[in-house]
Structure 1
């Protein structure tokens, strides 16, 4: 199970931690994490097994709760995001669902302080309300409006570090202050932050970080996983009445007081032993092994995709047939100052653009791409275009998202030049 202790100052820089964190040479004298393809583990005797399941002894008991290979990935992600402990799951959506249901119950709400990806929006708008968990949307992220939206039934403020729509950087530090004044944690979806390489929300006051690992962390976007990182810094003891599940005797664990057992990392412990254990969206060790390999090259891959995105965005701005270009690194971005404040290693591999004068890219234009793929997956090694729509776009025009891969930028630009020539 992940080392759920107080956070320590990192010994190595980010790039080094991506290769080494979570596994030491003392671990069976191996340089790579072994794949523990087992659902269960052997105990010395029945008394030890009972102690482990009752959480009075520490050891692996069942892979739905924790697995040695997955444990290495969790420790490495906690290190990269500068957190105290991490929990991984089978998808980004399951990570979001577990986080919300660990914090909120019937009749309670989450304040959403940014535009969301379509899948996250679906969860908040349609899947959670039947369970009487609601969302209060303040999509502008305006601090005063977020403050007004919080009430006695609010259990968290939730925001995307870089919004899926508009690619706008959130003012994490300001939102953290508002959330903490109300006694609730700030939860940040940091999928766009690339595992903490581009942006580490915990460094700016966030309490819980979630992310989908399919984007950027996976070498080619082929692995499905979700991540939850607990900063270990939120003082749950000051909000006992708001979060009784962490302080009252736990019915499913023989009356154990989870706060007394786990202290500052009680949130991640509760999510693991209650939500993950009972619902079961665990990550299998084969996926964890592949994702560990992805983390080893994460920094160099994100550097390349960010560089490619910045160059393509600049080139698109010069094209007469292109209308609006959105990229966090462009000075024309309405929140460029926040990009400068929070993004110190690059501006990411995503951009969007519209065509000018309401012209809609035709099927013929998309068919011109020889190198670039047309699809839905982002954050992989290959450049992908995704066709979207938005109400504020010119009538009849379409919004194009681009996820930049690792190809040579000259080849990428040549492909876009060919596609745009059909307009």
Structure 2
């Protein structure tokens, strides 16, 4: 492959800043929305799980459509960038309302408020995230340069997860009650807006070429994408791991409050989770350059599963052991984000070079739909585990939980995600795309 000019540092950082928006929205609802519904609005665990899941299920259908639309967008600013600003600011506005349900005459009306606002968030997020994730395949044709680009994105994502995940519970607890959730929602909406504007402005000088949308209907292109074996294997791996991550994220506040019964434990666990990711993301990138993305992804997944499984001792072990387990999860999670996000544009680029047209928007639409499904099913699955364990909902969060509920929280946070990650390796081990195949540009293809 001919030499490729590295992307300017400002473009890498500008693109990566979009992870401030995706990280905040991906973290805070997964961490706070289920406890808000069960322990502030008093909604039963199964119903709360449905409210968390339903808007994300809508996203699954919407994401490929958003990708198709962004593929066909013609704008002097680039085909993707206008969507970053339009949808991103809409997301921030809807998020500010999500945790601001007014006191109403019935629990059903309050639940409906959350459901409608979360649906609005999910819709706006689809039109932000899909174009955002599609951009790397068009920013550079280089296999290794995409890994470097993803290193910036994942590092900023890890920082945002730590910022949002650590401060959201602190803001809620400092203010207290439902007012605490309202203030927290507005604060996180501001964080999302900062990321949106940063990504939009930071990519204004990015070397994005013209997009040549693939022929045929959306259904035709989805069929072609579904037949791309390596993409399908990578997507399945990532979705199953997103399910595991979603379950762990939903369980943090319950583990800290009900099992550990330790004030501020949610923030401590989040810092331990993301701190290693901040430090080790460049190391994962370097390892991937040496041993390959697939091997790096395998190793990261095994470490993530090991950390989750170790957390099963949370009810009896010293707090330091739980912290160490979560830190180990963070080490694996960093790599389990770097590698698949760097492998996705590889699969889309191979398709574009083979066919002479791009379906990167459709690829990323399908990808984000799968990720959304996994992250939505995770809290829903955790809520089901809570229900099976006999978890007791309340309007003030101050209720003693039965021993069965504490066991359910622990298993839902540890054994369940560990098993899901290990199962995902069935598909990852069959992935076969190599750097030689990605970097090779067939004769007559559009680079």
Same fold by TM-score, threshold 0.5 exceeded? no
Higher helix residue share: 2
Give the greater-gyration-radius structure (CA): 1
Higher strand residue share: 1
Task: Report 1 or 2 for greater relative contact order, CA contacts < 8 Å, sequence distance ≥ 6.
Answer: 2
